Structure 1
Amino acid sequence: MPDRKVLVPGPDHPITIEPNPNRIVVTAGGRTIADTTGALTLREATYPPVAYLPREDVDFSALERTDHQTYCPYKGEAAYYTVAGGGENAVWTYDTPYDAVAQIKGYVAFYPDRVDQITETPR
């Protein structure tokens, strides 16, 4: 892997991570893929907030790791999963996130348009 530029969040590109107070259920391919009350919400600059769900609350038997990868200079290298019966590269994770976002290690996120539904309800 070539040397990658690593950037630190700051006033020009803020990133915050906090506990999500809701129950989140993800369905894809007609089945529940994730169900958690332990999600984190990551807010990054002007992007929409993203819910990161703990891996232990995700049914990995319904996911298949792909070769697809992307890079974020603030978070690191992202790996992807496809959902059986659902969207390709619908799930991403940072296996070794940068220190500034270390809280998302062990969590995954879902693209809303690549799964059937992501439901958030108050606990």
Structure 2
Amino acid sequence: MSPQGHEIEIKEGSARVRVVRDGQVVADSRRPLMLFETGLPVRYYLPPEDVRTDLLVPSETHTYCPFKGTASYYSHPDGTADLVWYYPDPKPEVAAIKDHLCFYEAEVTETTEATGTA
């Protein structure tokens, strides 16, 4: 068990995760990492090869999670909103998510049932 009863579990998923923004497919993956974290919905972390980062721009935003480390962000090309985050140097306990991209759930338009529970 992690500090204060906080737990994180990462599993390889089989869900198809697609992200569509402004009519364009920004991501399409059948190999997400599913991150289960105490008190949060499951998050799908996608391999960078399955994301069209050419449709995103690096953001100046950085946030810190005491369990995962410092996150960096990509935003919409017009700079109006951060759309996705990733951990370029995650804590050792979650090293599997290094450089995988996680879109805000409002941006995930299609998933199929995946196996695994927290």
Distance change in 2, residues 1:105/1:118 (3 Å): same
Provide Cα deviations, 1:22-72, integer angstroms capped at 9, x if missing partner.
111110121000001110110111111100000010001101001011000
Instruction: For 1:100, give the aligned amino acid.
Output: E
Q: Is the 8 A contact 1:15 1:45 kept in 2?
A: yes
Q: Is the 8 A contact 1:82 1:89 kept in 2?
A: yes
Q: What residue is the counterpart of 1:25 in the other structure? A: 18
Distance change in 2, residues 1:87/1:103 (3 Å): farther
1:67 to 48, 60, 67: 60
Q: What residue is the counterpart of 1:120 in the other structure? A: 111
Contiguous gaps of at least 5 residues in structure 2: none
Report the Cα distance in structure 2 between the residues aligned to 1:67 and 1:85, rounded to whole angstroms: 13
Report the Cα distance in structure 2 between the residues aligned to 1:85 and 1:20, rounded to whole angstroms: 32
Helix, strand or coil: the match of 1:102? helix
Q: How does 1:1-123 map to 2 (within 5 A)?
A: 9=2, 12-84=5-77, 88-113=81-106, 115=107, 117-121=108-112
State the percentage of identical aligned residues.
35
TM value normalised by structure 2: 0.87
Runs of 4+ in 1 over 2 A off after TM superposition: 8-11, 83-87
Q: What residue is the counterpart of 1:4 in the other structure? A: none
Contiguous gaps of at least 5 residues in structure 1: 1-7
Q: What residue is the counterpart of 1:3 in the other structure? A: none
Distance change in 2, residues 1:21/1:10 (3 Å): farther
Q: Is the 8 A contact 1:76 1:96 kept in 2?
A: yes
How many residues align? The count is 114
TM value normalised by structure 1: 0.84
Post-superposition offset of 1:112: 2.2
